[in-house]
Amino acid sequence: MSHINKPVPGADQFYPLNDPPIGAPLPQKTYPQNAELPILFQPLTIRGTTFKNRIFVSPMCQYSSDNGHATDWHLVHIGGFATRGAGAICIEATAVVPEGRISPEDAGLWTDSQIAPLQRIVKFAHAQGTKIGIQLAHAGRKSSTLAPWVHYHRPTLHKAPTSVAQKDEGGWPDEVYGPSDIPFADDYPVPKAMTESDMLHVEDAFIKAIERCEKIGFDFIEIHAAHGYLLHEFVSPLSNVRTDAYGGSLENRLRWPLRLFSRCRAAWSKPFFVRISATDWAEGPEKGADGEWKQWGIEQSKVYAGEMQKIGIDLIDCSSGGNWVKQQIALVPGYQVPFAEALKKTYPNLPIGAVGLITDPVVAESYLHDGKADAIFLARELMRTPHWPLFAAQALGVAVKSANQYERAFEFKHA
C-alpha cells in the first residue's frame, strides 16, 4: 500500500481524493453498524446516474450574480455543500432569458459567457465526488423585483415603497411577461400576456440553456415550475384567465408547460427533474360546486404529474405556494410532505422529492421509510448547518465519510 496523499484523477488542480466519496457510508467490514443502512444513506439511481445518498441541496436564490454570471460567492456557497456530504446539489433558479430573472442580480444561462463560471463550480463539485445540477427558470409576472434585503433592509427596518426594480435600479418593469395581464400583487409589475411567439421564444431559450448545460457538465437539470413563477402561472386558474388553447380547462392550462417539458426532455439525456407547487394555498376549495377549478391544488397536480411521467420526467420536486399573495401557511416542519406523499401514492414508480422546513434526521428518514418520498431536499437547514449530512449520519447511527480535511472533527465508531 502506497502512503501518498492521492489526488483526484483528472482534476484541474490538486484535491486530495476522498475514497469513498464524502457523505457515502464507510465500509461495513470496518464499521459493522453500516450493515443495515437507513434509506437516507442508501444510493438512489435515476436514469443511470447514482446519487451517493438521498440528501439533496435545494436551489437557493442568492441574488449575487453579475449580469447573470456566477461569482466566487457561488463557488464558495455551492462548494461548501460539495465538501460536506450532500448526495446532490441543485444550483439556484437560473433564468433562460434576461427578463426571466426574479431580480437584476439573479443567475442566468442565456449567453455563452455564463458557461465558464458555472463550469468552474461543477468541476469543483465533481472533484469532491458530488453530483450537481441546475434549476432552469423563468420568473414570469414575478420578475424585475428587488432582492429581499434591498426591498426590506433589516438593519434599519427600512422597506422600499414597491417590490419592483425600476430601470434605473437594473430592472425591466415594462418587459415582464405572464400568461395573462394580472399582476402578482399591487406593488408588482403588470405583465404582458404572452403570445404564441413569446412562448416559442422562451421554449427555444430553454433548449439553448440546456445545450450550455451539456457543455458545462451538469449531472441533472431541474425545471422551475413552482412558487408562482411562469410555468406555475400557466397551470393555475388564479393567474391564467386566457380564453385560447392555453387557458380555461385543465388540459389547456397544462398544454404549454407540458410542451416545454417534452422539448426539454428530448434535448437532455441525463436525469430531468421538475419542481412544482402542489397547491396555491388560496382560500376555498380547489374545485367549486359548479365543477370548475377555482385554484391550483393537489388533485390537478396529480394529473400534471401523470402527464410528466408519460413524457419521461425522472423526479418531481414537490413544493407548494407562491402564486397567491394572500396565502396563509402554517409553517411547521414537514408541512409540504403530505403533498409529496399524495403524488407518491398515486405514482409509486415516479421518484418524488420532499421539501418543507425538514430539519430532524430521524423525521427525514421516516418520510423515506414510510414511502412518502424518495429523496429529501433541504435548503435553510443546510444554510444553518452545512455539515447536516454528517450530523444526520450520527443521529441515525451510520458511519459516513467526511472530507479528509475535516476528519479530525468527525469521529465514527468502528469495529
Q: Report pLDDT for 415.
A: 61
The residue-averaged pLDDT of 289-296 equals 95
Cβ-Cβ contacts under 8 Å for 179 (sequence gap 6 or more)? 140, 193, 194, 230, 233, 234, 239, 240, 242, 246, 247
How far apart, in whole angstroms, are the C-alpha atoms of residue 394 and residue 412? 8
The residue-averaged pLDDT of 179-208 equals 97
Cβ-Cβ contacts under 8 Å for 223 (sequence gap 6 or more)? 135, 136, 137, 206, 231, 260, 261, 264, 272, 273, 274, 275
CA atoms within 13 A on the CB side of 409: 9
Paired sense of beta strands 152-153 and 158-159, if any: antiparallel
Cell of 343: 403524488
Q: Report pLDDT for 260.
A: 98
The residue-averaged pLDDT of 199-216 equals 98
For residue 287, the cross-strand partners are 293
Pick the closest to residue 232 from 176, 275, 203 (CA basis): 275
Q: Return the C-alpha torsion angle 201, 206, 212, 213, nearest 10.
A: 180
The residue-averaged pLDDT of 254-275 equals 98
Paired sense of beta strands 44-46 and 49-51, if any: antiparallel
How far apart, in whole angstroms, are the C-alpha atoms of residue 338 and residue 156? 39
The pLDDT confidence band at residue 412, using thresholds 50, 70 and 90, is confident
End-to-end CA distance of the chain: 21
**Active-site residue identified among 229, 246, 304, 367:** 229
pTM of the model: 0.96
Per-residue pLDDT at 1 exceeds 80: no
The pLDDT confidence band at residue 110, using thresholds 50, 70 and 90, is very high
Q: Report pLDDT for 258.
A: 98
Per-residue pLDDT at 46 exceeds 70: yes
How far apart, in whole angstroms, are the C-alpha atoms of residue 164 and residue 145? 4
Q: Report pLDDT for 411.
A: 80
The residue-averaged pLDDT of 103-132 equals 98
Query: Computed over its alpha carbons, how large is the radius of gyration of the chain?
Result: 21
Q: For 308-343, how does the pLDDT look when each residue is reduced to its tens digit (9 = 90+)?
A: 999 999 999 999 999 999 998 888 889 999 999 999
Chain CA centroid to CA 337, Å: 16
The residue-averaged pLDDT of 100-104 equals 98
The residue-averaged pLDDT of 169-184 equals 97
Give all domains of the chain, ordered by start, each with its CATH number: 37-409 (3.20.20.70)
Per-residue pLDDT at 90 exceeds 70: yes
Helices assigned H by DSSP within 66-192 = 72-82, 115-127, 148-151
Per-residue pLDDT at 72 exceeds 90: yes
Q: Report pLDDT for 2.
A: 76
How far apart, in whole angstroms, are the C-alpha atoms of residue 311 and residue 298? 20
The pLDDT confidence band at residue 230, using thresholds 50, 70 and 90, is very high
State percent of the chain over pLDDT 70.
100
Active site residue 229: yes
**Quick check: bond before 161 cis, omega within 30?**
no
